[in-house]
């Protein structure tokens, strides 16, 4: 996770956070233009995230939920104002795109599979958010808005057009289940290890009760993207448990994901 030293402009920051920021070393740790993330080097460390109004409610709720399960950072404050602000305590360790973990791809592959297997074994009954309906509703909205980007998803090459991909979704969406606690974006940068042991997951804006194949799809995508090869896909699925994997549903996820 990158950390660029900055001098923050406090004029647009809620006064609630001023004391924490003043006199502290602050680093920009943003990974997308949609959200600003600051790492605050004070005590054991904090992350302060700012995004558009209403956009962090889901993440705040699910980070709190996963923290109670021992799988996420502690949420210290969520302020829904003109912008959303989310303050969490930092967790120990490094994300899985750190050089030390990428240097041992077989071990990394097995570690990710074990973490995902254990996550999916958690009883989801007390989870406050359902994922599948929102997932499909978002895909339909984006399809009708003309959004279609298969370039970053090799599995989508079989769909020559947005209409073809959407037809596949309509024909097979009944295969999606809502019976598993999922992260929703199970990619290497969102998994924190400390000396190869699971420390925490981060970025829960797509988490909820959904279909396990969403996490499986993004784990396979991220292994391919970050290791620059497909050679670890078979190893990952074997380690996770082939009996729990339906290739047809993985292909369905690819059709949905081309709509963002």
User: So which residues are the catalytic ones?
Assistant: 185
b/e per residue 103-122 (b: at least 16 CB within 10 A): eebeebbbbbbebbeebbee
Helix (H, G, I), strand (E, B) or coil at 204: coil
Cβ contacts of 141-145, under 8 Å, gap ≥ 24: 142/259, 142/260, 143/259
Percentages helix, strand, coil for the chain (3-state, rounded to 5) are 45, 20, 35
How many Å apart are CA 260 and CA 9, to the nearest integer?
Answer: 32
Question: What are the backbone dihedrals phi and psi of residue 84, each rounded to the nearest 5 degrees, phi first?
Answer: -85, 140
Assigned token pair, 33: 């233009």
Bridge partners of residue 194, in order along the sequence = 197
Query: What is the signed CA dihedral for 224, 226, 157, 139, rounded to 10 degrees?
Result: 110
SS3 annotation, 209-247: EECHHHHHHHHHHHHHHHHCCCCCHHHHHHHHCHHHCCH
Residue 127 to residues 5, 12, 70, 172, 186, Cα–Cα distance (Å): 37, 34, 14, 26, 18
């Amino acid at each position: 996770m990158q950390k660029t030293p900055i001098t923050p402009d406090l004029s647009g920051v809620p006064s609630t956070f001023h004391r924490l920021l003043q006199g502290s070393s602050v680093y920009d740790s943003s990974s997308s233009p949609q959200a600003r993330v600051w790492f605050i080097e004070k005590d054991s460390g904090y992350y302060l995230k700012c995004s558009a109004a209403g956009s962090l409610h889901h993440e705040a709720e699910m980070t709190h939920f996963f923290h109670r399960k021992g799988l996420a950072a502690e949420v210290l404050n969520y302020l829904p104002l003109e912008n959303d602000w989310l303050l969490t305590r930092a967790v120990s360790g490094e994300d899985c795109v750190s050089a030390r973990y990428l240097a041992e791809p077989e071990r990394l592959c097995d570690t990710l599979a074990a973490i995902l297997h254990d996550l999916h074994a958690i009883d989801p009954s007390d989870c406050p958010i359902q994922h599948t309906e929102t997932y499909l509703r978002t895909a339909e909205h984006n399809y009708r808005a003309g959004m279609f980007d298969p370039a970053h998803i090799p599995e989508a090459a079989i769909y020559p057009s947005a209409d073809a991909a959407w037809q596949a979704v309509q024909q097979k969406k009944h295969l999606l289940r809502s019976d598993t606690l999922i992260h929703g974006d199970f990619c290497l940068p969102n998994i924190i290890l400390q000396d190869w042991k699971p420390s925490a997951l981060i970025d829960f804006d797509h988490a909820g009760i959904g279909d396990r194949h969403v996490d499986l799809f993004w784990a396979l995508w991220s292994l391919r993207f970050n290791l620059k090869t497909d050679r670890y896909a078979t190893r990952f699925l074997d380690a996770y448990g082939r009996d729990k994997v339906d290739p047809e549903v993985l292909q369905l996820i690819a059709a949905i994901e081309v709509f963002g």
